[in-house]
Amino acid sequence: MKIFPEVDIMKQVPKIKKMGYVQTMREHDTGIGFTFESLMGIKENNLKNHDFTYNGEEVECKTRRRGTSANLTMFTKEPPIRDIKDVELMKKYGYTDQKGRLGLKPDCVYGQFNPQNLSLSTDEKNETISLIDSDGYKPWTWTCDDVSKKMRNLLLVFADSKKENGSEYFFYDEAYYLKDFDRSKFLGLIKNKKIVVNLRMHQKDNGTSRNHGTAFRISSMDELMDCYGAKIQII
């Protein structure tokens, strides 16, 4: 069974622009992405891979409201290399959250320890990113191999938005096809504090963890585009 559709973005994306403002198919923040992907013929799935293929190449899709200052989630990814699991990580670095649970939900940046005593470090030789504490202990590590599998090619779409009769509408009028993810530039953005890693977990009543996905986030779309060797403007 074909899970990921083949989409001709050079034809389909301009068609969506010609539709003008379209009503959101889902309320709140995720509406912009869900609506665009639905118009592209991409069905929502919970898989951790790409969203579709173009000319046989795996492509991730990201949408952005024009004018927003919020960070864009590049991807969510749990580390393939773990010295300790979620619950142990929370017990070592966590705190009591607003609901009285043991939680761990800080932003982590390179070279700067947060109140939970966590920062990021990079290893250019081995192409890895790690959580690190002030004692030099690295409980979690990600590899650029995993990152590049997810972000190898990217469709980045911008949209104006407006509200009418209590509903949001989007006009998808600018899009870029980004190819050839550059690992060294990605690591450079982490070292320059342009990418933050957001932990999002708490301990459930039964003692296990509820992890909403560790998110790698960036604010500058220009710097995100600079992570790629080729940039093709579609519209």
Which range marks the domain in which residue 137 is found?
Answer: 9-233
Question: What average pLDDT does the chain have?
Answer: 94
Parallel, antiparallel, or unpaired for β 201-203 and 52-54?
unpaired
C-alpha 203/C-alpha 91 separation (Å) is 9
Walk across the sheet containing 81-82 and list its strands.
Answer: 81-82, 140-143, 128-132, 119-123
pLDDT digits (tens, 9 = 90+) for 130-167: 999 999 999 999 999 999 999 999 999 999 999 999 99
Rounded distance between C-alpha atoms, residue 201 and residue 210, angstroms: 5
Q: pLDDT tens digits for 196-217?
A: 999 999 999 999 999 999 999 9
pLDDT on residue 29? 87
| Residue 232 pLDDT | 98
Angle between helical axes of 183-191 and 144-151 (0-180°, round to 10): 110
For residue 154, give both structure tokens.
């990217």
CA dist 131 and 79 (Å) reads 10
Tokens of residue 136, six digits: 């030099």
- In the chain, how many domains are there? 1
Contacts of 126 (CB under 8 A, 6+ apart): 143
pTM check: above 0.85 = yes
Does the residue 191 lie in any domain? yes
Domain assignment present for residue 64? The answer is yes
Residue 43 is part of a domain; what is its CATH number?
A: 3.30.70.3570
Residue 4 lies in a domain: no
In a domain, 2, yes or no: no
Q: Does residue 186 fall inside a structural domain?
A: yes
61-108: pLDDT as tens digits: 999 999 898 999 999 999 999 999 999 999 999 999 999 999 999 999
Q: Which two tokens stand for residue 164?
A: 């009418």
CB 185 within 8 A of CB 147: no
Task: Tokens 């889902």: give the residue.
Answer: 26
